[in-house]
């Protein structure tokens, strides 16, 4: 099995290194990861400036490249150029911090898996949390590493339908404290934006964007509920964002004909 591994926390992130070291046992691992922090860059593509790539060291026996672009660039570059030949699986992570609910639309980790999915390669994103109060080096990643390894093998035997990828979240707990696994749906938006207005040393205003975690009760089938109850959460996501039910409804309402007839009625 050939695995393309990426992340959004940068090529030296602990989660990526731990995963590379373990996935070596599953197959050939090629890392293409951003050279620096790219969290919350979502699915962005670098189109208006060059993308630079240089060899990096991540783990013994693992080919690795650091790239000046985004996580999505890393996947595209890996598939098109840096990992020539068939790639069987794309793994994004282990992200330092949970990726839940609508946060996945901001996440470089989750959207790297989307990029892989769009390119027709089985893909999953994996994140660990909560991370509050923990330094990166102290973050408990063993359970996530163990699960990622198992999932790679499981997916080889149970391919996902086309256009579907997985968003996985693992509690930041030792493996023996994980209570199980739940297949979940995305919960709601977990943050409120804070946009603080400040002044620079010249008295000009600038803004600093931050996030305020909302206290909210999640339903029992959501990703956040699973994590809060010490379960691994596996959420299937689809690349096609079309709201299928409303697509049918709008057609039934003859939206196109109504627009065409707008001047005669």
Using rule CB under 5 A, residue 95 touches Mn ion? yes
Residue 78 or 93: the one with the smaller Cβ distance to Mn ion is: 93
Residue 79 or 110: the one with the smaller Cβ distance to Mn ion is: 110
For 36, residues 6+ apart whose C-beta sits below 8 A from its C-beta are: 10
Query: In angstroms, what is the minimal distance from the CB of 109 to Mn ion?
Result: 6
Residue 9 or 115: the one with the smaller Cβ distance to Mn ion is: 9
Query: In angstroms, what is the minimal distance from the CB of 37 to Mn ion?
Result: 7
Which tokens in the block code for residue 147? Answer: 């699960």
Query: In angstroms, what is the minimal distance from the CB of 165 to Mn ion?
Result: 17
Residue identified by tokens 């934006």 is 193
SS3 102: helix
Query: In angstroms, what is the minimal distance from the CB of 9 to Mn ion?
Result: 4
Q: Give me Rg for the CA atoms of the chain.
A: 20
Whole-number Cα distances in Å, 157 to 33, 88, 113, 154, 219: 27, 12, 19, 5, 31
Near Mn ion by CB under 5 A: residue from 3, 5, 11, 39: 39
Using rule CB under 5 A, residue 103 touches Mn ion? no
Instruction: Characterize 39-68 residue by residue with b for buried, 16 or more Cβ atoms within 10 angstroms of its Cβ, and e for exposed.
Output: bebbbeebeeeeeebeebebbeebebbbbb
- Residue ranges in 3-32 that form contacts with Mn ion under rule CB under 5 A: 8-9
Residue 148 or 254: the one with the smaller Cβ distance to Mn ion is: 148
CA distance 7 to 15: 9
Region from 14-22, 27-35, 45-53, 93-101 binding Mn ion, contact rule CB under 5 A = 93-101
Region from 1-9, 21-29, 60-68, 162-170 binding Mn ion, contact rule CB under 5 A = 1-9
Pick the closest to residue 97 from 45, 171, 184 (CA basis): 171
Query: In angstroms, what is the minimal distance from the CB of 263 to Mn ion?
Result: 51
Nearest-5° Cα angle at 15, 137 to 218: 100
For Mn ion, the binding residues (CB under 5 A) are 8-9, 39, 95
């Amino acid at each position: 099995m050939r695995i393309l591994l990426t992340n959004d926390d940068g090529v030296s992130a602990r989660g990526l290194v731990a995963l590379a070291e373990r996935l070596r046992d599953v197959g050939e691992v090629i890392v293409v990861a951003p050279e620096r922090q790219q969290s919350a860059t979502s699915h962005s593509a670098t189109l208006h400036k060059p993308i630079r790539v240089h060899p990096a060291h991540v783990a013994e026996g693992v080919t690795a490249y650091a790239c000046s672009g985004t996580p999505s660039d890393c996947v595209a570059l890996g598939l098109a150029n840096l990992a020539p030949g068939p790639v069987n699986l794309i793994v994004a992570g282990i992200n330092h911090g949970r990726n839940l609910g609508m946060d996945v639309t901001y996440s470089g980790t989750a959207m790297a898996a989307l990029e892989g999915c769009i390119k027709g390669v089985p893909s999953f994103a994996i994140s660990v949390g909560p991370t509050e109060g923990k330094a990166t080096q102290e973050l408990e990643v063993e359970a996530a590493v163990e699960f990622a390894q198992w999932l790679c093998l499981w997916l080889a035997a149970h391919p996902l339908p086309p256009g579907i990828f997985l968003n996985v979240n693992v509690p930041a707990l030792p493996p023996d404290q994980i209570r199980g696994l739940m297949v979940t749906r995305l919960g709601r938006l977990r943050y409120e934006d804070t946009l603080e207005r400040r002044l620079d040393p010249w008295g000009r205003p600038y803004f600093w964007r931050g996030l305020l975690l909302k206290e909210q009760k999640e339903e029992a089938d959501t990703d956040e509920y699973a994590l809060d109850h010490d379960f691994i959460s596996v959420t299937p996501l689809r690349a096609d964002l079309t709201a299928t039910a409303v697509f049918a409804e709008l057609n039934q309402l003859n939206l196109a004909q109504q627009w065409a007839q707008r001047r005669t009625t």
